Chain A
Amino acid sequence: MDRRQIWLSLATLALFAVVPPLTVIFDQPFYMDMVARIMVFAIAAVSLDLILGHGGMVSFGHAVYMGIGAYAVGILSYYGIDNGFLQIPLALAASALIGLIFGAMSLRTSGVYFIMITLAFAQMLYFLAISLEEFGGDDGMSSMRSEFAGLIDLNDAMHFYYLVFAVLAGVLFCLHRLVLSRFGMVIRASRTNERRMQAMGFPTYRYKLAAFTIAGTICGLAGALFANLNEFVSPDVMHWTHSGEIMIMVIMGGMGTLIGPVLGATAFLLLEEYLPQWMEMAMTDAGEHWAIIMGPILIAIVLFGRGGIHALLAASLGRNGNNGSKRDD
């Protein structure tokens, strides 16, 4: 973790911080919503980076925790409880509990089994959400924005933006401290050589399970914000392609760097927003087929984009050093 990474993080956060005044000056409120959405996904991507980048756990079901957080808010809202001081702790507790259960079972396996099992568990809750007719089933349900006893008004776009911003900054700070702590050291060392860590007497399973649960909990928080952002909850949040997208954000930005996934989420969502428009400009009606370009872009990033956007920026900032671009299973 070098100084450059901290500067990059601060610069990125500073850029996010000045978005609302700029959108007010240029009278473009749309962009404030868009960047708020980017930051919500950035929180999810950063949480995945803790286990994927630092812990080497390839979880392919991370969107499920977003779904749990979102449904915790949505279900309380359905029963008329809009108090955010109840909703958010419930969202955190529910995603932590599910993370603990899924993690406890998935971490018994490793490698490709782990990838497939996390995917399968996510799919299980996706189908559960679909079969819950009471909560809208396949169609989902609308959900009111959380109330915070008049302290923060989430219906005010500016309040909402800075709440998400504060959460993102807080999550980045806490995870930064966590990764540098003794706990984080054990997690990173288990990725490099788990057997040696076990030989040294570390119960790596418990450490990894704790990291997995923390990541799920933070992603649940992102989900609670996501439900507020859309004022709508549906099983679609948990769809496995979203798990894949969060993973791509991490890789695109540079895994094991924490700020990388924030950049990755930004790049991915901007691409998703503007690629269709660019294609439309090049050829009429081409925009709806944006995935035909997006797919090969993803493949190219995987094949050639070592270290992602973070590595590019770090290199342009000077010394070509970062400790996160090493990849192993």
Chain B
Amino acid sequence: MDPLLLLEQAFNGLQFGIMLFLIAAGLTLVFGIMDMVNLAHGSLVMIGAYLATTLIAWTGSFLGGLALAIPATFAVGALVEVVALRTLYRRNHLDQVLATFGLILFFNEIVRIVWGPVSLYSGLPDYLMGHVEIFPDAPYPVFRLVIIAVGLSVAAALYLIVAHTRLGMLIRAGASNNEMVGALGVNIKSLFTFVFALGAVFAGLAGMMLGPLTSVEPGMGEPLLILAFVVIIIGGIGSIRGAFIAAIVVGLVDTVGRVMLPVLLRAFVDDAAADTAGPALASMLIYILMAGILVVRPQGLFPARTG
């Protein structure tokens, strides 16, 4: 096995993990504070990607488009919360799952009507197109490095907000006992809206950065949503730290596993069997990891106190 290839895959895994963290962070915040399961979170990834693609084309500038798409996604998130999700907080999880499932159908169809069923491709500006040598003879795409940097800054910013600001204090208090926070005179409704819209921005950001890597299409967020579920199950629902660590682990295990497993299997079984079993096993790897962790710790690695 070529160590440089392995290194490259490790970076890809890190970048994928960061992407998953952006999605999982919103999910886990919304669950931790509002006790709400939101399946439509994947739709926000999609909406972010579509808004960014359109706004980049409209402004003619990559950064300009993103600068407009982020507040736009925030607004969409706030609107969704106020119109649809607010009534669901007091319902049980089953109702939340079904109603947000309905929302997914609705959003996918809206996107199909507005942008058409065909995949969109958003390009990258020249300054993000190139490669840099992270190690001698190991070129790596600049854009993927940018994703890693953006994700790490978001994680750091989120940590600072939650741990060191008044808003973060309210978020943590809301996660422990949101009725008490309301009784103390905090406008709990607008806090919920803000937190939800914040989660929407993170998800949208993931979608915006995913756009240039893959294609932008209806339903693009849903496979990622389920992976984000795996991440927050492993990390412990409601825990941002857990989501971060689990996201990186899942990203690395999935990406590196797909490359390494067939090679490793060849050492034990003959090549043909390894080529068949390798990809099959690799696609199940993170779920096996999840099952293994649950056997040891049913509440995830870093269970939040309110679990």
A positions within 8 Å CB-CB of B: 52, 58, 60, 105, 108-109, 111-113, 115-117, 119-121, 123-124, 127-128, 130-134, 240, 244, 247-248, 251, 289, 291-292, 294-299, 301-303, 327-329
Contact = CB atoms under 8 A, between A and B. Distances in A.
Given A117-B290, A244-B97, A303-B99, 4 more contacts: A115-B97, A128-B280, A295-B104, A299-B102
A329 B294 contact: no
B113 A128 contact: no
Contacts of A301: 98
B93 A329 contact: yes
Given A105-B295, A124-B287, A112 B31 contact: yes
B105 to A, nearest CB: 4
Contacts of A52: 94
Interface size class of B (residues with CB under 8 A): 35 or more
Interface string B274-307: 0010011011100110110011001110000000
B294 A108 contact: yes
Given A105-B291, A108-B295, A113 B233 contact: yes
Interface string B222-246: 1000100110110001000000000
SS class, residues of chain B in contact with chain A: helix
A109 B31 CA distance: 16
A-B pairs, 6 with minimum CB distance: A295-B106, A298-B102, A295-B105, A124-B287, A292-B109, A127-B283
B93 A115 contact: yes
Given A117-B294, A292-B106, A296-B102, A58 B97 contact: yes
B112 interface: yes
Contact of A120 (B102, B287, B299): B287
Contact of B283 (A121, A131, A248, A302): A131
A291 B108 contact: yes
B283 A120 contact: no
Contact of A123 (B37, B92, B99, B226): B226
A127 B284 contact: yes
Nearest to B229: A116
Nearest to B39: A244
Contact of A130 (B37, B84, B283): B283
Contacts of B284: 124, 127-128
